[in-house]
Amino acid sequence: MGLGETHKKLELEYKQINENIRFLADVRFKLLALVPALGGVAVFILARRVGLQAGEVTSSSRLEFLSVVVFGVLGFLATLGITLYDQRNSELYNALIHRARHLELEFGVSSSPGSTKRRHDDSPFPHGGQYRERPEKNRRLIFKAGHDLALALIYGPLLGAWLFPTSYAVARFASLRHESALAGSVILAGIGAVGFFRWLITLDEQDHERYEDAAKTDKLIDDDTKEKPMNPEKLITDNFKAYEDGKHRRYQLLFAVNGGAFAVAKLLTDRDPAHILGNLTLRQVSIGMVFFTLVMSTDIFMFGEKMRKTYLHDAFGWQGKTVLILIGAIICAGWTLVAR
């Protein structure tokens, strides 16, 4: 097979890769246009269906609760299936991007003079292309902008939301009191949302590491020979300082907010036990603080894991994880007692 014929086949493959990427993006946009909206409406309707009933459980209400459980489980499974389908799309998308970068290297395409991906001396890399010159994630709106993070923020809470009407209906069907069923279902939905979000982020991190290794194997990463090597000891010291500072700030925020909320709740409930902050009840404040504690504990865990995997392999071991989980559990247990 001649060189020209091989080049034509590679060009044909590159064109097909672009079409496949556009197809996957089109499917993803259609899912995002329908699934979150329909899922949110369905969860709202099911929550209205049970009516968050505070009265006695009757035979007719048991039938209502049972129907909500059935439709809630079906809705959760359907959303989970779509989420898994989208995750498979992400795998195919990453594989296509990797292959396209390889073909651009084979074509010997030069880098654009004004490309934002440059060497440390501000000179362009020798090889370019639309995929090899994709910009780094630099935009930030609370979080750093990225497709996979955005998808996790959409599908994670949506999966968690399905647990709310379903778990409330199950609890009421089992003749639990309205207050206990409501608090338990809210906490379960929050834990589910955080858990699914973290699961999706973990899958993205694993795929990112896999293709970083593949890029090194296929020599797709440009060697920036002009970069000056950093002192390893200084690098470790700087990383450890960043880890300690980040962990300290997060723990400080966790303790400060919870401590202040405990103090305010104590002072104001002595005056008016029904409403402590405007129209907020003590139970509502407690549920909110449980959510805050779960979110902060998850953030600390994610920060520690990232620092351990990326910079300090001996940091945030099982001892640190155990302490974090126990602290979060104790604070949540404290707010649960307050709510009672």
327 torsion bin: left (phi>0), alpha (psi -120 to 50), beta (else)? alpha
Contact 300, 247 (CB under 8 A): yes
Q: CA Rg, the chain, in Å?
A: 26
Specify the pLDDT at position 221. Answer: 67
Long-range interactions of 145-150: CB distance < 8 A, separation 24+: 147/90, 148/90, 148/200, 148/201, 148/204, 149/201, 149/204
pTM of the predicted protein model: 0.60
Cα–Cα distance measured from residue 64 to residue 62, given in angstroms and rounded to the nearest whole number: 5
- The stretches in the chain having pLDDT less than 70 are 1-4, 49-61, 113-124, 126, 142-143, 220-239, 264-281, 340
Q: What is the predicted pLDDT for the residue at 225?
A: 38
pLDDT value of position 118: 64
Predicted local confidence at residue 108, as pLDDT: 75
Does residue 219 come out as left (phi exceeding 0), alpha (psi in the -120 to 50 range) or beta? left
Q: What is the pLDDT of residue 228?
A: 44
pLDDT number for residue 237: 67
pLDDT at residue 238 in the model = 66
What is the token pair recorded at 88?
Answer: 């498979």
Burial state string for 277-288 with b = 16 or more CB within 10 A and e = fewer than 16: eeeeebebbbbe
From the CB of residue 257, how many other CB atoms can be counted at a distance below 10 Å? 14
Taking 3-state DSSP, the helix, strand and coil percentages for the chain, each rounded to the nearest 5, stand at 75, 5, 25
